[in-house]
Copies of this chain bind each other. A is one copy, B any other.
Amino acid sequence: MFYHDKRLQYTVRVDTPNPVFAKMLQQAIGGVEGEIRVMLQYLFQAWGARGPVKYRDMLLETGTEEIGHVEMLATAVAMNLEGAPASFQEEAAMNPMVKAALSGMDPRHYLSAGMAAMASDSNGVPFDGSHVYASGNLAADMFANVTAEATGRALATRLYHMTDDPGMKDMLSFLIARDTMHQQQWLAVLEELKEQGGYLPIPNSFPQEQENQQFNYVFLSTNIDPQAPIPAGRWSKGRSIDGQGRIQRRAFETTGPGA
């Protein structure tokens, strides 16, 4: 069950409202990399968890925190739109300045929401629940979570570069810090799983002898020129990362099945 208090998790302050920045912040609310997604993702992972209860418990803790991040960002959007509605009401028509302001802002912030946040991304595309990844496999979910926090932190740092509003920079510096920690958390689970015997390949419940043994540790080249060198890296030689095989390389022509 869930509770709230009326305080935000961290102060949200906007020194100079900027409706264009309000639009940018929407990506962090309803975008693929945004907070509605991680909120629902961690909660659904918790609610569907069937393994050790401590992972479920931790997911609940952090999923709940993320609701508060949506709240902070929605508050920030409303603050950045502050003042803008006034101009519409004061003047019955769209004068050049208003027009200029509008050209960069999300029109639906005014038309649909009356100057408030929406459950959409920075292009006005509605939040899409198919991005809530909860696969029933803990390791897969942890990779999904690191991805979410990695793209989320990349987004937050890009937003940080786009504003010079001290209030917004302060809020983002908090959210970036939380993304740092959350990356640590999900990586820590993977570390634990590794210590308990490993999790690769994911899912490791499938008996690996049933997978095709000729293709499971082979880097296949699809280069049209079978003589072309294969891009060399850690993935093209040596023991595989999971320690189960040795990586080979093969050009396309040797992989073709009978016509």
CA distance A256 to B1 in the complex (A): 8
Is there an interface contact between B223 and A188, defined as CB atoms closer than 8 Å?
A: no
Q: Which of B180, B214, B225 contacts A217 (CB 8 A)?
A: B180
A113 with B94: CB separation less than 8 A? no
Per-position contact with B for A64-96: 1 when CB-CB < 8 Å, else 0? 110110110011001000000000110011100
Which residues in B have their C-beta under 8 angstroms from that of A122? 107-108, 111, 124
In contact, B48 and A117 (Cβ under 8 angstroms): yes
Given contacts A133-B151, A144-B147, A181-B217, contact A176 B212 (CB under 8 A): yes
The residues of B that contact A259 with a CB separation of less than 8 Å are 6-7
One complex includes copies of this chain to the number of 6
Report whether A36 and B47 are in contact in the complex, using a CB–CB cutoff of 8 Å.
no
Chain B residue with the shortest CB-CB distance to A213: B177
Are A224 and B3 interface neighbours, CB within 8 A? yes
Known: A43-B70, A64-B222, A115-B136. 13 other contacts (CB 8 A): A1-B8, A20-B103, A31-B112, A48-B74, A103-B103, A116-B136, A127-B132, A147-B147, A157-B203, A173-B210, A176-B211, A183-B200, A192-B234
Q: Is the CB of A110 within 8 A of B158?
A: yes
Residues from 161 to 201 in A contacting B, C-beta threshold 8 Å? 161-164, 173-174, 176-181, 183-185, 187-189, 191-192, 195, 200-201
Residue of B nearest to A89 (CB): B161
* Residues in chain B near residue A233, CB distance under 8 A: 54-55, 58, 188-189, 192
| Interface residues in A, total, Cβ within 8 A | 161
Docked Cα-Cα span, A208 to B232, in Å, equals 32
- Nearest CB of B to A172, in Å: 9
> Closest residue to A136 on the B side, CB-wise?
B114
Q: Which B residues lie within 8 Å of A5 (CB)?
A: 1, 3, 223-225, 228, 256
Residues of B within 8 A of A160 (CB): 206, 210
Residues on B with C-beta less than 8 A from A135 are 33, 112-114, 150-151, 154
Q: Does A38 reach chain B (CB closer than 8 Å)?
A: no
Cβ contact within 8 Å between A183 and B201: yes
Contact B92 A57 (CB under 8 A): no
